[in-house]
């Protein structure tokens, strides 16, 4: 696609359930980032992928959060045993990361509400 | 932590130039200045970036001081649709760096364009 695509755009889940959020980066982009934005808060870095590897997972808030990337393309962010404080917009972004053209482009986010 | 300082809010009249300042006094040689904006309920949108020279594109101009310790984003003819949160970010694009080129967002400047 032309831009970063995320699904679902909205998700309401019950506390304690697991959720999966999907990101399709821009075609050919090797770098992929996940961010989180809680209501009224700034953007918080979660994890970075280069290809299928995640050299920087420093932003994942707890071991309930995990992410994977397959085929150097699609990424899935999984939140296990969701809590109300997990309610936020989860944003995915991608970049060519050639060292020359490396602008990061964001998707529209997945809005997660835990009730 | 973000390495930039921005005013929390600014106003601008429609049709006038909006000049958004940013202080990044600890910027290092590998770091570029990036600007993004986030319109309510949308993902961040890339605006412009620069290293030390002034830059202009179809959206805005970026003026970086000679010592690179501050910069100004200029929207030459602001419209109501430019109302958003504007983020100034310093970013190390060195592929070998431990920051992996990720963007660290601060609180940004809320720009309100009024009729």
Asked if pLDDT for residue A1 goes beyond 90, the answer is: no
Q: Are B62 and B35 in contact (CB under 8 A)?
A: yes
Q: Cα Rg for chain B, rounded, in angstroms? A: 14
Asked if pLDDT for residue B1 goes beyond 80, the answer is: no
DSSP state of A13: E
Distance from B96 to chain A by nearest Cα, in Å? 10
- Residue A72 burial (10 A CB sphere; 0-12, 13-18, 19+): middle
Q: Pick the residue of B47, B57, B100, B110 with the most A CBs within 10 A to test the interface with A by mutation.
A: B100
pLDDT classification of B95: cutoffs 50, 70, 90: low
pLDDT of residue A35: 97
CA distance B93 to A37: 23
Q: Are A38 and A15 in contact (CB under 8 A)?
A: no
Asked if pLDDT for residue A112 goes beyond 90, the answer is: yes
User: Which of A42, A95, A107 shows the shortest C-beta gap to B105?
Assistant: A42
Distance from A14 to chain B by nearest Cα, in Å? 23
- A108: number of Cβ within 10 Å: 16
Inspect the interface and report whether the beta carbons of A45 and B107 lie closer than 8 Å. Answer: no
CA distance B47 to B36: 5
Which residue has better confidence, B103 or A6? A6
pLDDT classification of A102: cutoffs 50, 70, 90: confident
CA distance B18 to B91: 23
Inspect the interface and report whether the beta carbons of A104 and B46 lie closer than 8 Å. Answer: yes
Query: What is the rounded average pLDDT for all residues in chain B?
Result: 92
Residue in chain B nearest A37 by alpha carbon: B43
């Amino acid at each position: 696609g032309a831009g970063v695509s995320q699904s679902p755009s909205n998700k309401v889940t019950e506390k304690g359930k697991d959720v999966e959020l999907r990101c399709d980066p821009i075609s050919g982009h090797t770098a992929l980032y996940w961010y989180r934005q809680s209501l009224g808060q700034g953007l918080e870095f979660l994890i970075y992928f280069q290809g299928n590897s995640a050299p920087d997972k420093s932003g994942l808030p707890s071991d309930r959060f995990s992410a994977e990337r397959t085929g150097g393309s699609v990424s899935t962010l999984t939140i296990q045993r969701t809590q109300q404080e997990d309610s936020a917009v989860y944003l995915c972004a991608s970049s060519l990361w050639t060292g020359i053209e490396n602008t990061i482009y964001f998707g529209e986010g997945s809005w997660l509400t835990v009730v | 932590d973000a390495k930039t300082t921005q005013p929390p809010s600014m106003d601008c009249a429609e049709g006038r130039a909006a000049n958004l300042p940013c202080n990044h006094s600890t910027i290092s040689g590998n770091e570029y200045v990036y600007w993004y904006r986030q319109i309510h309920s949308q993902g961040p949108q890339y605006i412009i970036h620069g290293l030390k020279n002034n830059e202009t594109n179809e959206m805005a101009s970026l003026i970086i001081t000679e010592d690179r310790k501050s910069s100004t984003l200029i929207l030459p003819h602001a419209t109501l649709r430019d109302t958003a949160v504007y983020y100034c970010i310093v970013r190390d694009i060195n592929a070998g760096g431990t920051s992996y080129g990720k963007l660290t967002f601060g609180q940004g400047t809320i720009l309100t364009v009024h009729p």
